[in-house]
Amino acid sequence: MHLLVRGGPGRLAGDIRVPASKYHAHRALILASLADGVSRVNGLTEARHVTYTVELLRGLGVRITTEGDTFVVHGLGGVYRPRRASVSAGSSGTTLYFMIGLAALADRPVEVTGQKYFRRRPVGPLLDALRQLGVHLTSADGCPPVQVRPGRPAGGHVRIPGTLSQWISGLILLAPFAERPTVVEVEGELNERPYLELTVAMMRQFGLRVEVSQDWRRFAVEPGQRARARDVTLPPDIGSAAFAVAAAALHPADVLLRGITSLDGGPADHPEAHFLRVARDMGVPMEIEPGRGLRVRHDGVRLRATTVDCRDMPDMLPVLATLATFADGETVFEHVAHTRLKESDRAAAMTQLNAMGAGLELTGDTLRVRGTAALRGAKLSSFNDHRVLMALAVAATRADGPSTLSYPHAYRISYPDFLTDLGGLGLSMAVERPPARTAPAAPAVAAPAAAGELPAAAPAPPRTLPERVREHARTRPDETAVVTAYPDHETALTWRELAAEVDRAAALLLRLGVAPGERVAYQLPNQAEFVVMTLAALRIGAVCCPVMPFFREREVGFALRRSGARVLLLAETYRGRRPAEELAGLPAEDTARLEHVLVLSDSEESARLPGTDGAFRFHDWRAALAAGEADAAGLDARTPEPTALAQLLFTSGTSGEPKGALHRGDVLARAAAAEIRQLGLDESDVVWVPSPLAHQTGFLYGMWLALELGVRQVLQAEWDAKRALSVLREHRATFVQASTPFLSDLVQVVEGSGQAPPVLRVFVAAGTAIPRSLAERASRVMGTAVCGAFGTTETCLATLSTPADAPAARWGTDGRALDGVRLRVVDDAGRVRPPGVEGNFEIRTPTAFAGYLDRPDLTADAFTEDGWYRTGDLATLDADGYLSITGRVKDVINRGGEKVPVSEIEQLLHAHPAVAEAALVAMPDERLGERVCAFVAVREGDRLDFPSMQRYLDQGRVARHYWPERLEVVDSLPRNAAGKVQKFVLRDRARSLAPQRGRRVETEQEKVGGA
């Protein structure tokens, strides 16, 4: 579902009745609830945020009724009597910030919470200030829900950051009911002063006394006050009227906004009255018609650039940025930092106008907007932010061609009549509904597990992934589903074609005797056949066992031996190798179960098949597909349960050999749905997949996610940053999850070419830490929100930041918990560490794996006695719930998102005749995050150099991705008193070293490989 906006030059005409101010409504309703007697608030508003305040107050026992256009509030004299133990602020920040403290005036304990996504909103500074005031409250992570104990606050001296006026307002609304005098002092920069002026003015109307310093940084409040009932008339909402003013400014117009009686209303009259002054300064022709309202009338007007201080009107940045986009010259928005803490990062969200041809540049605390003559239609995201949605929609009315916006109903939060009012003026805006489809299942929190048990399963989604694909084939048959971008050409499959290919492949697997629950292995680069094979295996209830394409004999043999796969699909060639021919050199025990090897040719011609030695048969993939018919009805009868095992991925750790992590289909669907919700992805998105599909990042958060959403996925067959940029521009991709090296390479190409991906909204950088300088460069040159994340093969993503987070949190941390996920940092005894203190990082999640293949001992070791997954990482959790990985308990090197099996490579080096002992540690690397450095002590009289080590590993058929990129020969390895190698000493030495360059490594290892 999206908001479709069609641009056009037509003339706007008509009248709009401006709704009542929600800012006044919130304050008047809350103060009336505290007063003695009955108050009447004239000017009924249907804004959803005000509705949340009304419903929360009713939950606290306040009787609120309506008479015509009036709220009638029966005040409780300063003592709430909750009807239930928990009250919700919905998604209203004003409601939440004002009512957390006021909930202490209840006569029993009460919990203040909000909608699911709103429970990620940090309120730590406000909670700390309320505690200074003497309010007794608790919060698990500095976010809602907040448990508040009853009792009037003690009062005292309170300090609060001036970041958000709502925090300060929440304190001074409560202070009159304290037992002792209260002084509230603002620390740091004061933002949004007009909103504080409104709060104080409204309090005085209800008889509450507040003394304010001249600079509005100190508030003195007497204790034991009582609010008096009042009748209040709400003024018109200039914040809503602003969108009609902007629309009328951008088109020839004759528009009347009824209710606005002044162009110079003071800040206490309305905190957004400054908007009218700025709009007038920019050249919007406005005049007041006495007794009627504000008229905007012209036959075309040239707007002027200006400078805007956003501290006074933070909520006006989106709509003013739209006006500035069409102004002559450069408009400068100063002090925008706190506007990025609203419903979304509004400054960053408005840079999406660049995808339409605008010129916005966000640098630090300043947003610069260069005017342009015309825009083009684009797919945009509202980030579920009402002001961003409405501002971008108004801008899109001047674009050449249609535009779409996600979260099309966000306007209801503040301006329920937005579409009706602006449509009545002649603008083309409508919510388009896609064909009926099954929404992703909501995740459920895992129930506490008994000792040694896995977290309990959440309810299964109603359909398997192949069923979703068949539904897409029915409802959007001719839309593109999968694009494979090869170095010199592209191929594409529609949803109809994809479903047909899947049925043919599933029928082939059945002819080869594949049974439900059996593992099917395939080693392919990023191409459509990988998607087809995955869906075909899932279609018949088999388990997908993808193998990284750069793996060689050693790793492939291990995967075949452990998985017991009887069927293997291979590419005919891969980067100069012939994987099918390499099978002949594998030990017999590795291929003992293998019966059929399907070979995918490089072209439409038949593949060149190796001779068969009797152990297993080779088949040409395309010929085998064409050899039989697909019986769709018969396949449908074999549809597995959503809870069936779906995936086997081998992951390296410290146990000496890779472990096979098993996942159920419903768990993978739940994991993809959680990211879709966290980031607000929808049917308008296009997913770019440069990460290997055989890695969980590409498999789940590229391919699977796109199939769940029913949107186009663009597979990058081979990594080349220049090719990637052309693919992004051609297909207008909006989302990608990949490791840092992909981001680094892409940024370099964008900087060199001066061409940015036009609509790439979100780049989730997972698998390795994001250098802050790289994230800042990417945000600046590409206009893309770079988001940090943390996940494991065993748990899927556990944490993720969002474009709405402040930049330092967005890319400076690994994000916050996804829905249903719980995080903790503990010491070695299992005691939870305080915020900011490093410890062992553990996860409890509804997306945990089903266990390690044939290793119940390792599965049990992976979980604590009370059911938490041990990540093996060291981390901190701050007071706002943001995760920062600080190190590793396990001895793992993370090279470009792929974990190097340290123990295995060390053991192999130890087997070299010249090596006495060896240890591998990480070298920091700006591009890959980490590279591998080998410290080796050689035997007396022997020698080992870097090329010799490479030749040895090549002979051992070790994937080049895992080869050390630096060799340091030492007399001995540093050890502690117990004889353990002190790797921290080696890591300190490795920090100053650089990779060595070897002629055999350049072909693959200096490319991204499996990153």
Model confidence at 445, in pLDDT bands (50, 70, 90)? Answer: very low
Residue 689's DSSP bridge partners are 715
Strand order in the sheet with 915-925: 915-925, 929-938, 966-970
The pLDDT of residue 977 is: 47
The pLDDT tens digits for 122-154 are: 788 999 999 999 999 999 878 899 999 999 999
Binding residue positions: 22, 27, 93, 121, 165-166, 315, 342, 346, 387
The pLDDT tens digits for 616-649 are: 899 999 999 998 888 888 888 888 999 999 999 9
Would 919 be classed as within a structural domain?
Answer: yes
Same domain, 39 and 91: yes
Model confidence at 654, in pLDDT bands (50, 70, 90)? Answer: very low
The pLDDT of residue 442 is: 31
CA angle at residue 968 from 965 to 971, to 5 degrees?
160
Beta strands in 51-120 (DSSP E): 63-67, 70-76, 86-88, 110-113
Q: Print the domain residue range for 93.
A: 22-233
Choose the final residue of a domain: 199, 233, 267: 233
The pLDDT tens digits for 796-839 are: 999 999 988 888 888 889 999 999 999 999 998 999 999 999 88
Instruction: Compare 51 and 306 and report the one with higher pLDDT.
Output: 306
The pLDDT tens digits for 472-483 are: 999 889 899 999
The pTM of the whole model exceeds 0.75? no
The pLDDT tens digits for 53-65 are: 998 999 999 999 8
Residue 73's DSSP bridge partners are 39, 64
The pLDDT tens digits for 314-356 are: 789 999 999 999 999 999 999 888 777 666 788 989 999 998 9
**Is the confidence at residue 447, as pLDDT, over 60?**
no
- Omega cis (within 30) before 145: yes
Same domain, 250 and 202: no
**Is the confidence at residue 979, as pLDDT, over 60?**
no
Choose the final residue of a domain: 233, 252, 271: 233
Would 337 be classed as within a structural domain?
Answer: yes
Q: At 355, list the tokens.
A: 């995808």
Would 873 be classed as within a structural domain?
Answer: no
Query: CA 312, CA 984: separation in Å to the nearest integer?
Result: 51
Query: What CATH number should be reported for the domain holding residue 985?
Result: 3.30.300.30
The pLDDT of residue 1000 is: 39
Would 967 be classed as within a structural domain?
Answer: yes
**Is the confidence at residue 34, as pLDDT, over 70?**
yes
The pLDDT tens digits for 251-269 are: 999 999 998 888 864 444 5
Neighbours of 264 (CB within 10 A): 10
Neighbours of 643 (CB within 10 A): 16
Q: What is the DSSP string of 193-229?
A: HHHHHHHHHHHHHTT--EEE-TTS-EEEE-SS---B-
Model confidence at 684, in pLDDT bands (50, 70, 90)? Answer: confident
The pLDDT tens digits for 144-199 are: 999 999 999 999 999 999 888 899 999 999 999 999 999 999 998 888 888 899 99
**Is the confidence at residue 205, as pLDDT, over 60?**
yes
Same domain, 81 and 156: yes
Binding residue positions for 3-phosphoshikimate: 22, 27, 165-166, 315, 342
Same domain, 97 and 48: yes
Amino acid at 286: M
Q: Regarding beta strands 70-76 and 86-88, do their DSSP bridges make them parallel or antiparallel, or are they unpaired?
A: unpaired
The pLDDT of residue 769 is: 64
Same domain, 227 and 260: no
Model confidence at 997, in pLDDT bands (50, 70, 90)? Answer: low
**Is the confidence at residue 998, as pLDDT, over 60?**
no
Binding residue positions for phosphoenolpyruvate: 22, 93, 121, 166, 346, 387
The pLDDT of residue 741 is: 83
Query: What CATH number should be reported for the domain holding residue 201?
Result: 3.65.10.10
- Four-point Cα dihedral 627, 633, 635, 639, nearest 10: 170
User: Helix (H, G, I), strand (E, B), or coil: what is residue 841?
Assistant: strand
Q: At 155, list the tokens.
A: 């009062």
Model confidence at 594, in pLDDT bands (50, 70, 90)? Answer: very high
Query: CA 425, CA 438: separation in Å to the nearest integer?
Result: 36
| Integer Rg of the chain from CA | 31
The pLDDT of residue 895 is: 85
Choose the final residue of a domain: 233, 261, 289: 233
The pLDDT tens digits for 870-879 are: 998 888 999 9
> Which H or E run contains 533?
helix 528-539
Q: What is the pLDDT averaged over residues 599-610?
A: 85
Same domain, 12 and 75: no
**Is the confidence at residue 393, as pLDDT, over 60?**
yes
Same domain, 31 and 178: yes
Q: What is the pLDDT averaged over residues 777-787?
A: 88
Neighbours of 874 (CB within 10 A): 17
Would 518 be classed as within a structural domain?
Answer: no
The pLDDT of residue 456 is: 39
Model confidence at 885, in pLDDT bands (50, 70, 90)? Answer: confident
Would 768 be classed as within a structural domain?
Answer: no
> Which H or E run contains 272?
none
Would 372 be classed as within a structural domain?
Answer: yes
Judge contact between 745 and 927, C-beta under 8 A.
yes
Same domain, 351 and 259: yes
Q: At 148, list the tokens.
A: 């508040």
Number of domains in the chain: 3
Model confidence at 709, in pLDDT bands (50, 70, 90)? Answer: very high
Residue (of 49, 20, 38) closest to 206 by Cα position: 38
Which residue numbers are catalytic? 315
Same domain, 423 and 351: yes
Same domain, 357 and 268: yes
The pLDDT of residue 461 is: 42
Would 76 be classed as within a structural domain?
Answer: yes
Residue burial 78-106, b: 16+ Cβ < 10 Å; e: rest: bebebeeeebbbbbbbbbbbbbbbbbbbb
- Average pLDDT, rounded, for the chain: 87
Same domain, 394 and 301: yes
Same domain, 13 and 47: no
Model confidence at 460, in pLDDT bands (50, 70, 90)? Answer: very low
The pLDDT of residue 669 is: 95
Length of the chain counted residue by residue: 1011
Half-sphere exposure in the Cβ direction for 902 (13 Å, CA):
23
Judge contact between 735 and 729, C-beta under 8 A.
no
Model confidence at 939, in pLDDT bands (50, 70, 90)? Answer: confident
**Is the confidence at residue 512, as pLDDT, over 90?**
yes
**Is the confidence at residue 845, as pLDDT, over 90?**
yes
